[in-house]
């Protein structure tokens, strides 16, 4: 069973620090304190993962709020698993991961995101990085989402516009 990686706990802490900054420069919001407790224990015991089901409720709720702010799926609508590839060239997920994605828990999804990000081989990280920036995080979005906007129409019969003074 995949756990929540320490880098995701750290990202959630930083997200909450930005979202609810300290007013006095010393105290932290309740969400940061809950996540920092988990983070501190992970560092102390040199554990890279924590179990999502055994986290204290406040820490889990704070982590899930951060998780909800991240894209759900790495899909960029170039799915080569539908063409028979065992691993998608577009997003880097395996055929099984693509098929079972809707049933994955948040920790399982983040585990896959971490793996494909660390590998960095998928087109979303190189050839189609611009397309990945436009992706909404929806699994298998329609290709129209990625089409470039058409240039504004001009009236060619009117001729060139007169220069402004």
pLDDT in tens, 115-152: 999 999 999 999 888 888 887 777 777 777 667 666 66
Task: Check if the beta carbon of residue 81 is closer than 8 Å to that of residue 89.
Answer: no
What would the mean pLDDT of 24-35 be, rounded to a whole number? 96
Residue 138 has what pLDDT? 76
Q: Spell out the domain ranges in the chain.
A: 4-68, 80-145
Within 8 A by CB and 6+ apart from 29, the residues are 16, 17, 20, 22
User: What does pTM read for this prediction?
Assistant: 0.80
Percentage above 70 pLDDT, the chain:
85
HSE value, Cβ hemisphere, 13 Å, CA-based, for 124: 26
Of 114, 120, 117, 132, nearest in space to 77 by CA: 132
Of 92, 121, 113, nearest in space to 7 by CA: 113
Higher pLDDT, 111 or 156: 111
């Amino acid at each position: 069973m995949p756990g929540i990686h320490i880098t995701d706990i750290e990202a959630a802490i930083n997200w909450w620090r930005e979202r609810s900054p300290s007013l006095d420069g010393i105290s932290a919001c309740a969400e940061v304190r809950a996540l920092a407790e988990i983070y501190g224990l992970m560092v102390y015991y040199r554990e890279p993962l924590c179990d999502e089901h055994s986290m204290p409720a406040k820490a889990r709720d704070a982590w899930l709020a951060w998780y909800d702010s991240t894209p759900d799926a790495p899909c960029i609508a170039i799915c080569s698993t539908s063409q028979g590839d065992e691993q998608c060239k577009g997003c880097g997920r395996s055929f099984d991961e693509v098929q079972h994605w809707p049933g994955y828990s948040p920790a399982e999804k983040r585990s896959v995101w971490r793996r494909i990000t660390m590998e960095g081989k998928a087109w979303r990280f190189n050839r189609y990085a611009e397309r990945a920036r436009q992706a909404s995080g929806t699994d298998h979005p329609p290709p129209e989402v990625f089409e470039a906007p058409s240039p504004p129409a001009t009236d060619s019969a009117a001729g060139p516009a007169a220069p402004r003074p």
